[in-house]
Amino acid sequence: MIVFSDLDGTFLTSDKQVSAGNLAALDALAAAGIPFVPCTGRALTGIARPIIEHPAARYAITSNGAAITDLRTGAVMHRVDLGRERALACYELTRGRDVTFDIFADGRIYTHRSCYDRLGEYIANPAVLASVRRLRTIYDGDTGAFLAGLEHIERVAMYWYDARDRDAILRELAGATDLSVVRSVENDIEISDANATKGLALVWLCGELGIPVEEAVAFGDNINDTSMLEAAGLGVAMGNAEPEAKTAADAIAATNDENGVGTFLLQLLAEQR
């Protein structure tokens, strides 16, 4: 068995904490020699230390599948970059629209100061806002010039306030068959290469490790998790999941605030003894 789990809305509580119940499940996986793979839209530096430093966590899938990292060596095993040209084209779509622009690159998230200062206008939940601010690195100056100085641009994302801006951007992106366009919260747009999805990353890592995909268990709650839930042998949606995630899943766990992942895993391990 190998376990893949989304973080926000899945493994983390709504106030962005790792519950004792979920930590207990990680301990049980480590004792059984079963790898746990955080599979998140976050950049690598955004994964909480209790997860990334846990003995069960050997690999991490980040930026919605754009990067797979060996956590023991720090080496990136697999990349599917969005790249500068397409990132800049996405940035051009924000001009004249009331949206933010985040750049996920080289394991970090970069946000222009003008967007960073307005994050509170787009994110109402104080815990989420604090987390989002904490995980971002501010830059100043011209975004095009800043993009030119980055090595690996994994994906970009936008928070929107007015649904008309969202719809206009999505119309522009609709014909781009080389892009994956998903969301992980109600008011964001997340753009990466078409081959940078959580599902394809799960399949790649299983192949690299010689573990049948049928033995993979995956947990998720949102649109960017559906490919992973469909790819895994056992896809588990959270009780708080979006309808699309529940449709893609084989089973439903309790919510992220009810130790849903931990309870499900401990029961699954008990059944396999």
The kind and range of the H/E element at 157 are strand 153-159
Domain identity same for 166 and 205: no
pLDDT (tens digit per residue) in 84-114:
999 999 999 999 999 999 999 999 999 999 9
State whether 230 and 255 are in the same domain: yes
CATH number at residue 55: 3.40.50.1000
pLDDT value at position 91?
Answer: 97
> For the segment 20-68, what is each residue's pLDDT rounded down to a tens digit?
999 999 999 999 999 999 999 999 999 999 999 999 999 999 999 999 9
Q: Which two tokens stand for residue 90?
A: 């996405």
**Position 185 pLDDT exceeds 90:** no
Q: pLDDT tens for residues 149-180?
A: 999 999 999 999 999 999 999 999 998 999 99
* Residue indicated by tokens 């130790």: 259
CA gap 254, 237 in Å, rounded: 9
- From CA 89, how far away is CA 44, in angstroms rounded? 24
- Would you place residue 272 in the very low, low, confident or very high pLDDT band (cuts 50, 70, 90)? confident
27, 30, 52, 164, 269 from 41: Cα distances, Å: 24, 24, 15, 24, 27
User: Under a CB-based contact definition with an 8 Å cutoff, are residues 2 and 211 in contact?
Assistant: yes
pLDDT computed for residue 273 by the predictor: 74
Q: Which residues pair with 18 in a beta bridge?
A: 12
- What would the pLDDT profile of 128-140 be if each residue is shown by its tens digit? 999 999 999 999 9
Boundaries of domain holding 230: 2-80+197-272
Q: What count of Cα atoms within 13 Å lies in the side-chain half-sphere of residue 77?
A: 20
Predicted confidence at residue 120, as pLDDT, reads 96
Are both 212 and 257 inside the same structural domain? yes
Q: Which residues pair with 36 in a beta bridge?
A: 3, 57
- My answer on whether 58 and 134 are in the same domain is no
The last residue of a domain, from among 166, 193, 220? 193
The reply to whether 50 and 139 lie within a common domain is no
% of residues, the chain, pLDDT over 70: 100
| Angstrom distance (rounded) from CA 165 to CA 104 | 21
- Per-chain mean pLDDT for the chain: 96
Written as six digits, the tokens of 81 are 């970059």
